[in-house]
A and B are shown apart, each in its own frame.
Chain A
Amino acid sequence: MATVNPILDNTYDDAGERSPLILGGLDYAGVTDEVCGIWEADKPPKIWFVVLGAAISLLMVLGGCVGHLLMDGVGVWGNNNPAYWGWPIVNFVFWVGIGHAGTLISAILFLFRQNWRTSINRAAEAMTIFAVVCAGLFPGVHIGRVWVFYWLFPIPTEHLAMWPNFRSPLLWDVFAVSTYATVSILFWYMGMVPDIATFRDRCTSKIGKFVYGLLSLGWTGSARAWHRYEIAYTILAALATPLVLSVHTIVSFDFAVSQVPGWHTTIFPPYFVAGAIFSGFAMVVTLLVPVRKLYGLENLITVRHLENMNKIIMATGMMVGTAYGIEFFIAWYSGVPYESYAFYNRAFGNYWWAYWIMVSCNVLIPQVFWIKWCRTTPWFMVIICVFVNIGMWFERFVITITSLCRDFVPSSWAYFHPTWVDVLMLIGSFGLFFTLFTLFCRYLPVIAMAEVKGVMPRPKDH
Chain B
Amino acid sequence: MAEENTNSSTDENSKLIGLVAQFDDPESLVQACDRARQAGYTKTDAFSPFPVHGIDPALGIKRTILPFIVLSIAIGAVFIGLGMQWYTNGGSLGEFSTDESPVFPGYRFKISGKPYFSLPANIPVTFEVIVLSSAFATFFGMWFLNKLPMLSNPLHRISRFKRATNDKFFLMIEQADEQFDRGSTEAQLNEWGAVSIDECRKDLTDNNLPSWLRLVALMGAILLLLPPVAIFRAMGMTSRAPRLHVVPDMDWQDKSKTQTLSPIMMNDRYLFADERAMRAPVDGSIARGQLDADTELFEGIKSDYVPTVSLTTPQGAVRTGLGTQDEAEATPPVEDVSMYVTEFPKEIIVDEALLQRGQVRFNIYCAACHGYAANGDGLVNQRAVALAATGKAQWTSAKSLHDATVSNAAKNPLGRIFETISKGRGTMGPYGAQIPTADRWAIVAYVKALQETGIKPVVAVSEDENSDDAEASEAATTPEDKTQPTP
**Which residues of A does B touch, CB under 8 Å?**
27-29, 32, 145, 147, 154, 156-159, 161-167, 169, 171-172, 175-176, 179, 182-183, 186-187, 190, 194, 197-198, 200-202, 213-214, 217-232, 235-236, 239-240, 242-243, 246, 250, 253, 449-451, 453-454, 458-460
Q: 6 new A-B pairs (CB below 8 Å) besides A220-B156, A227-B61, A236-B138?
A: A27-B167, A32-B167, A179-B129, A223-B51, A223-B52, A243-B128
B55 within 8 A of A: yes
Interchain residue pairs with CB less than 8 A apart (20): A156-B104, A158-B103, A163-B107, A166-B89, A167-B118, A176-B128, A194-B50, A201-B163, A217-B143, A217-B151, A218-B151, A218-B152, A222-B46, A223-B61, A226-B51, A250-B124, A450-B49, A451-B50, A453-B49, A458-B26
Closest Cβ–Cβ distance, residue A249 to chain B (whole Å): 8
The answer on a CB contact under 8 Å between A246 and B166 is no
A222 CA / B246 CA spacing, docked (Å): 51
Asked whether A450 lies within 8 Å of B50 as measured between CB atoms, the reply is yes
List the 8 closest pairs (A to B, CB-CB), nearest first.
Answer: A28-B167, A217-B149, A232-B142, A218-B150, A163-B88, A223-B46, A201-B162, A172-B124
Residues of the A chain whose Cβ atoms lie less than 8 Å from the Cβ of B104? 156-158
A-B Cβ contacts below 8 A, count:
199
Report which B residues bind A (CB closer than 8 A).
Answer: 25-27, 33, 45-52, 55-56, 59, 61, 63-64, 66-67, 70, 84-85, 88-89, 103-107, 109, 111, 114, 118, 121-122, 124-125, 127-129, 131-132, 134-136, 138-139, 141-143, 145-146, 148-153, 155-156, 162-167, 235, 246-247, 249
Q: Residue A223 contacts which of B56, B111, B151, B156 (CB distance < 8 angstroms)?
A: B56
Q: Take A201-B162, A225-B146, A460-B27 as given contacts and tell me if A175 and B48 are in contact as well, using a CB distance cutoff of 8 Å.
A: no
Q: Kindly provide the distance from the CB of B435 to the nearest chain A CB, expressed in whole angstroms.
A: 31
A29-B167, A450-B49 given; A183·B109 CB < 8 A: no
A161 contacts across to B, CB distance below 8 A: 105
* A250 and chain B: residue at smallest CB distance: B124
Contact A183 B135 (CB under 8 A): yes
Most chain A CB within a 10 A radius of its CB, from B46, B50, B106: B50
Whole-angstrom CA separation of A232 from B111 in the bound complex: 42
Distance to closest chain A CB from B484 (angstroms)? 48
Closest to B148 in A: A217
Across the interface, do B134 and A235 meet the contact criterion of CB distance under 8 Å?
yes
With CB as the reference atom, state the residue of chain A lying closest to B26.
Answer: A458
Would A224 and B61 count as touching, CB distance under 8 A? Answer: yes
**Could you tell me the distance between the alpha carbons of A28 and B24 in the complex, rounded to whole angstroms?**
10
* Contact between chains at A226 and B48 (CB < 8 Å): yes
Distance of B439 from chain A, by nearest CB (Å): 31
Q: A171's closest neighbor in chain B, by CB?
A: B125
The reply to whether A459 and B25 form a contact with Cβ atoms under 8 Å apart is: yes
Q: Do B148 and A218 touch (CB < 8 A)? A: yes
B67 and A235 contacting across the interface, CB-CB below 8 Å: yes
Least distance between A38 CB and chain B CB atoms (Å) = 15
Chain A residues whose CB sits within 8 angstroms of the CB of B124 once the complex forms: 169, 172, 175-176, 246, 250, 253
CA A171 to CA B89, docked complex, whole Å: 14
Smallest Cβ-Cβ distance to A461: which chain B residue: B27
Contacting residues, chain A, for B153 (C-beta < 8 A): 218, 220
Q: Are A222 and B45 in contact (CB under 8 A)?
A: yes
Say how far B89's CB is from chain A's closest CB, in angstroms. 6
Cα of A88 to Cα of B122 in the assembled complex, Å: 27
Residues of B within 8 A of A253 (CB): 124
- Residue of A at shortest CB range from B29? A223
B139–A236 CB distance below 8 A: yes
> Which residues of B have CB within 8 Å of A240?
135
Q: In the assembled complex, which residues on chain B have CB atoms less than 8 Å from the CB atom of A451?
A: 50
